[in-house]
Structure 1
Amino acid sequence: MPPEAVLPAPAPARLPAAWRAPLVSLAVGLLVLVAVTARAWGAMVHQWWNIDTYSHLLLVPFIIAWLVVLKQRDLAQLAPQPFWPGLVALAGALALWRAGEALGINLVAQAGAVGAVQAAVVTLLGVRASLVLALPLAFAAFLVPFGDEIIPPLQLVTAEIAIALTHASGVAAGIEGIHIQTPAGLFIVAEACSGVKFLIAMVTLGVLVCATRFRRWTTRAAFMAACILVPILANGVRAWATIYVAQFVGAEKATGFDHIVYGWVFFAIVLAVLLGVAWRFVEREPESHGWPLQAIDRWRWVARAEALRLAPTGALLAVVALAGVAAVSTLV
């Protein structure tokens, strides 16, 4: 029996010639924008690295890169055409960043910094390429750490769920705001116990799953609702379990055990159950996310928008000029 023929390994994909200069321009433009808004980016990286609530955001750049790679075949069929109206969005994003810096509001400054990068991509790569990259571009919004604003209401909701379950389990308890008094001691639903970390991570994951695995909006809405409600309810159950166990082992032991279990086990179990249920309703493969090229070709407004093109060199110079104006405005 003759040996099986050994097929040659496929040649590595080459970067299409039409993309080489635009990608260089994009890299230069993004470097300039990040340099100008470096303070906001530095604050974001600090929050990702040092604040547990936002540690999951360290994965977002890698997720964005993965989403872009999934669309490389579609992108290879396109030739980037700079889109001058994108400069309007870039100017608005830089103005937002500048306002946030002037007012000392990190969330606003960071949103402007990320928005400037998104607008630069649209400007330098054009409408059609940006539509193909719509999901990774939109997902970049999750680079901005947010959620501190909802911690107080989450504390109250957690306390209410915990006290209701505590009463239902036959433990005498009283509540005042986020303070729960029981025979085993006083329990406080602190900021770290609000469940905001779990909730934000689940919402981020939910958006990714909805965009890459589901087609129907009803399925997406149901899954996103679960990604919001399940973490809130689960956190209330966790708080109640801590209070209940404390009645037998003491508050100190129960609290220490709670942090370990919730940090490593409880979150993983809830996440696995939620994804396991969602898996039964998967409707497509990740690489089919977004709009296919055939659909984009049928949109007449795309052709009209592409008429508003700009020379590649002029587009890059305009991006750099706007970044320069923003930088100078900080010195005034």
Structure 2
Amino acid sequence: MPPEAASLAPAPAAAGLPAAWRAPLAALALAALALVAVTAGAWGAMVHQWWNIDTYNHLLLVPFIVAWLVALKERELASLAPQPFAPALLAVAAALGLWVWGARLGIDLVAQAGAVLALQAAVVTVLGLRVSLVLAVPLAFASFLVPFGDEIIAPLQYLTADIAIALTRWSGVAARIEGIHIHTPAGLFIVAEACSGVKFLIAMVQLGVLVCAVRFSRWRVRIAFMAACIIVPILANGVRAFATIWVAQVIGADRATGFDHIVYGWIFFAIIVALLLGAAWRFATREPDTHGWSLAAIAGWRWVARAEAFRIAPIGAVLAIIALAAIAALGLLL
């Protein structure tokens, strides 16, 4: 290659972390450490649920998904210099207040939501408004770290029982229902908490949000897909319960129950997911790395430039967050 041609080639990107990011990321690490230390009880309870309760095992994937979503924006982030955003300290304070309130009342969901929100607000504070807008999707997706779903188990049990009894009677099997108890010639079937379908439902909602964010650009498609991610698992769980009852009439209740757990746990769920994704994939109009707002779009928002005037130094941001964390810890003790 001639020397002049070589001089026209783009220079390789410098390896390592851009200098403009080093101080803000160090500040963010210190702020996150302080927040997690203060809200350790809430984080410990969340980790326990992720690891030990099968309804929430899929939440172990959330940190990896968030990291992947951030990595997709690496090129755009490299062109930015974080500018700590002072007004977001109000969000940190509000989130810590929510944590204190939930911890005082013994409401784990509220305390855990406050702990996660405090960490999200710290990212906005330390890395700044423009960076946070670029990272809006992973920041929002991190909300799924909070285990939720127990609150809807009872309604799902009754809904599953209603669907199962309707299909059972339609199939010609004589049956009657009392709440979540279904009486059939083969025996009594109870739609227990484990059979409510809550695990399937919340996993599908999480998957639906991810797919909508990284693959769909039209809101009509997003709304339709999210509706399917809610309705289809509920209906499918009712069909599964009916299938268990119907099979029991032929092979016996004990054998049908074992069959149900194997099929539903390993095959049925996978089939439903594959069908939903297969039906929706032709509507995918964007590449994953284009998720969220682009730098060009953000640059066109005048309010962003005006808001960025409220700056704070990285050390000032981290000291303010540590002070707020200390105040929240003191407020919980008093």
**Deviation of the 1:13 alpha carbon:** 4.3
| Whole-angstrom CA distance in 2 between matches of 1:48 and 1:315 | 31
Equivalent position to 2:50, from 37, 42, 48: 48
Q: Return the alpha-carbon distance in structure 1 between the equivalents of residues 260 and 27 of structure 2.
A: 51
Could you tell me how far apart the structure 2 residues matched to 1:250 and 1:312 are?
A: 67
> Whole-Å Cα distance in 1 between the matches of residues 249 and 259 of structure 2?
14
- The aligned residue for residue 92 of structure 1 is 94
Q: Give the Cα separation in 2 of the matches to 1:62 and 1:194.
A: 28
Which of 291, 302, 305 is the matching residue for 1:303? 305
Cα offset, 1:55, TM superposition: 0.6
Count residues in correspondence: 323
Residue 224 of structure 2 is matched in structure 1 by 222
Residue number in structure 1 paired with 2:133? 131
Q: Secondary structure at the match of 1:78?
A: coil
Q: Which secondary structure state, in structure 1, belongs to the residue aligned with residue 86 of structure 2?
A: coil
Q: How far does the alpha carbon of each residue in 1:117-142 deviate from its partner, in whole angstroms, 9 at most, with x for none?
A: 00000000110000000001000110
Residue of structure 2 aligned with 1:104, choices 100, 103, 106: 106
Q: Which runs of 5+ in 2 are unaligned?
A: 1-11
Q: CA offset at residue 279 of structure 1?
A: 1.2
Name which of 156, 159, 165 aligns with 2:158: 156
Structure 2 counterpart SS, 1:175:
strand
User: What's the TM-score once normalised by structure 2's chain length?
Assistant: 0.95
Gaps of at least 5 residues in structure 1 are 1-9
Find 1:326's aligned residue among 290, 312, 328.
328
Q: Provide the rounded CA distance (Å) in 2 between the counterparts of 1:316 and 1:153.
A: 44
> Displacement, 1:280?
1.2
Equivalent in 25, 35, 38 of residue 36 of structure 1? 38
How far apart in 2 are the matches of 1:13 and 1:269? 44
Q: Provide the secondary structure at the position in 2 that maps to 1:23.
A: helix
Post-superposition Cα deviations, 1:226-259, rounded to whole Å, max 9, x if no partner, equal 0001100000000000000000111111011101
Greater than 4 Å deviation, 4+ residue runs: 10-13
- Select 1:257's aligned residue among 235, 256, 259: 259
Match of 1:208 among 192, 207, 210: 210
Q: How many Å separate the matches in 2 of 1:231 and 1:72?
A: 35
User: What is the distance in 2 between the residues matched to 1:76 and 1:12?
Assistant: 11
TM-score (normalizing by structure 1):
0.96
Q: Does 1:116 align with 2:118?
A: yes
Structure 1 residue aligned with 2:315: 313
Decide which of 16, 21, 34 is 1:14's aligned counterpart: 16
Tell me the residue number matched to 1:3: none
Instruction: Give the counterpart letter for 1:188 in structure 2.
Output: I
Change (3 A) 1:174 1:131: same
Paired amino acid for 1:327: A
- RMSD after superposition: 1.0
2:83 to 81, 84, 106: 81
3-state SS of paired residue (2:283): coil
Q: Please state how far the C-alpha of 1:260 moved relative to its aligned partner.
A: 1.1
